Amino acid sequence: TPEKISDEEIIDFRKEHLGKSLSLSYSEPLHIVRGEGVYLIDSDGKKYIDTANNVNHVGHQHPKVVAAGQQQMAVLNTNTRYLHKEIINYAEALLKKLPKELSVLHFVNSGSEANELALRMAKTVTGQENMLAIEVGYHGNTNAVMDVSSYKFDGKGGFPQPANTHILPLPDIFRGKHCGKNAGTEYANYATRHIEHLRGMDKGIAGFIGESMISCGGQIVPPKNYFKKVYKTVREAGGICIADEVQTGFGRMGKTFWAFELFDVVPDIVTMGKPAGNGHPLAVVACTKEISEKFHTGMEFFNTFGGNPVSCAIGRTVLEVIEEENLQQNALETGAFLKSGLLQLQKESPIIGDVRGEGLFLGFELTDNNKNPLAEHAAYLSDRMKTLGVLMSTDGPDYNVLKIKPPVVFNKEHAQELIDKLRIVFGEDFMKAY
Ligand code: PMP
């Protein structure tokens, strides 16, 4: 490729030679060449605050994480069939962050692979096939995880809901089926109904998979007692409870290191990904000793890249940086500051129907006075914010939710800048007409 390649040339090449189903953000895509802390920098040198990327958790291109990868890459990278100390160092550091029940780790390379393995464990251990999952959940791009990702059952691309998957309604207390004070129990009761229905056909369940806060579903915070009840029902039916912490883990919640801890539950399996390697492909499955033993049927589990010394050095360093820079506490404090700013904006701009979330995992929803979703306004807002130098992402079943999940080095100044720029856009005519 020539020294300087134009945006048009990149777009044309992608169209011709990269998979047609890849997408680009924004109608005028960004050409990003560098990352630094909470910033992404484009080919013209323009800096954008990144409020959407929960992968580069401790900041884009964090020097300590970069150095850890570079150093280990220069020495050795190989698979787990040799003894190496880095896998032990990382495992020990990660286990310190997990409840003692979750004492066995498996290393893989992506959130999809982590969930794929978790599902295989649940199916192997129980000898069952049927899974419960949450509406609008997304768990990855491989066959088995697509089968439990109701986000993909929307008719686009004609991917149907498999017969072995049973979907629980999105536990949304703003615009969902149940919004009252009994919503947690009402939503959890769908698990009971599905299990009873299956029992009527002489079938059991392998388990339940759910994010502890539902991200693609639109930053949904389930009612406090929801998971306790679902887990109890699933376990009584012999199923395994899987918490997908791919988006929510590693201190982002502020109050807790994992989102499931906010709900006072301990899953049987926890899957982790995105932030684990700060952008390097690293993902993990944590499970109980009992599951790990039952999963060991005699067949080897081998993963060429999973658990390699470079990935483990990077993963360990990410955990160190979270501690050294007090990033969980930052998520708590900056998150609270930002949430109160958003609640103030909501008072000024009634188009903000709901503000929700914990720590630096926040969202707000754009609706009219009858709670109808305003997707075009969400798209307009995200485009205008881009022009103002802030990258935001929209999601939710009706594409009207703005998701805020920046690198956790996002501080109060960044939060104030975000609020100030949102205020500018909310003041524009387009945002007032609905
Ligand atoms: N689980 C959740 C909750 C996710 O958001 C994603 C990715 N968006 C995945 C799993 C899949 O992870 P990956 O893209 O690394 O395979």
Q: Is 109 in the pocket of ligand 1 (CB under 6 A)?
A: no
C-alpha 77 – ligand 1 centre gap (Å): 25
Q: What percent of the chain has pLDDT over 90?
A: 94
Q: Which atom of ligand 1 is nearest to the CA of 273?
A: 15
HSE (side-chain half, CA atoms, 13 Å) at 68: 23
- The per-residue pLDDT for 421 is 98
Write out pLDDT tens, residues 289-319: 999 999 999 889 999 999 999 999 999 999 9
C-alpha 425 – ligand 1 centre gap (Å): 31
Question: Do strands 361-366 and 352-358 pair parallel, antiparallel, or not at all (unpaired)?
Answer: antiparallel
Q: Fill in the DSSP letter of residue 15.
A: H
C-alpha 106 – ligand 1 centre gap (Å): 17
CB atoms within 10 A of CB 265: 18
Alpha carbon 93 to its chain's center = 21
Write out pLDDT tens, residues 56-111: 999 999 999 999 999 999 999 999 999 999 999 999 999 999 999 999 999 999 99
What mean pLDDT value characterizes the chain?
96
Q: Helix or strand or coil: residue 236?
A: helix
Q: Which of 274, 278, 395 to mutate to test the pocket of ligand 1 (most atoms within 8 A of CB)?
A: 274
Instruction: Evaluate if residue 2 carries a pLDDT over 90.
Output: no
Instruction: Evaluate if residue 3 carries a pLDDT over 90.
Output: no
Q: Which long-range contacts (CB under 8 A, 24 or more apart) does 255-259 make?
A: 255/332, 255/358, 255/359, 257/97, 257/328, 258/97, 258/98, 258/212, 259/211, 259/212, 259/213, 259/358, 259/361
Q: Give the pLDDT mean for 382-399.
A: 96
pTM over cut 0.95: yes
Which tokens is 155 given? 């008719």
CA distance 158 to 148: 15
Write out pLDDT tens, residues 127-177: 999 999 999 999 999 999 999 999 888 667 778 899 999 999 999 999 999
Q: Give the pLDDT mean for 361-377.
A: 97
Q: Which of 23, 108, 139 to mutate to test the pocket of ligand 1 (most atoms within 8 A of CB)?
A: 139
Q: Give the pLDDT mean for 221-242.
A: 98
Q: Is 54 in the pocket of ligand 1 (CB under 6 A)?
A: no
Give the residue among 25, 141, 80 at the shortest CA–CA distance from 393.
25
Write out pLDDT tens, residues 167-214: 999 999 999 999 999 999 999 999 999 999 999 999 999 999 999 999
Q: Which atom of ligand 1 is nearest to the CA of 137?
A: 3
C-alpha 270 – ligand 1 centre gap (Å): 13
Alpha carbon 366 to its chain's center = 21
CA distance 34 to 389: 15
C-alpha 434 – ligand 1 centre gap (Å): 34
Q: Is 395 in the pocket of ligand 1 (CB under 6 A)?
A: no
Instruction: Evaluate if residue 233 carries a pLDDT over 80.
Output: yes
Between 239 and 5, the higher pLDDT residue: 239
Which tokens is 80 given? 């787990």
| ipTM, 2 dp | 0.99
- The per-residue pLDDT for 153 is 85
Residue whose pair of structure tokens reads 């002489």 in the numeric block? 202
Angle at 266 between CA 260 and CA 267, to 5 degrees: 85
User: DSSP labels for 345-391?
Assistant: HHHH-TTEEEEEEETTEEEEEEB-TT--B-HHHHHHHHHHHHHTTEE
User: Which residue's CA lies nearest to atom 12 of ligand 1?
Assistant: 111
- The per-residue pLDDT for 154 is 67
The residue count for the chain:
434
Q: Is 210 in the pocket of ligand 1 (CB under 6 A)?
A: no
Q: Is 56 in the pocket of ligand 1 (CB under 6 A)?
A: no
Q: Give the pLDDT mean for 215-231.
A: 96
Q: Which of 23, 54, 112 to mutate to test the pocket of ligand 1 (most atoms within 8 A of CB)?
A: 112
User: Which residue's CA lies nearest to atom 13 of ligand 1?
Assistant: 111
C-alpha 373 – ligand 1 centre gap (Å): 25
C-alpha 244 – ligand 1 centre gap (Å): 9
- The per-residue pLDDT for 156 is 73
Angle at 392 between CA 160 and CA 340, to 5 degrees: 110
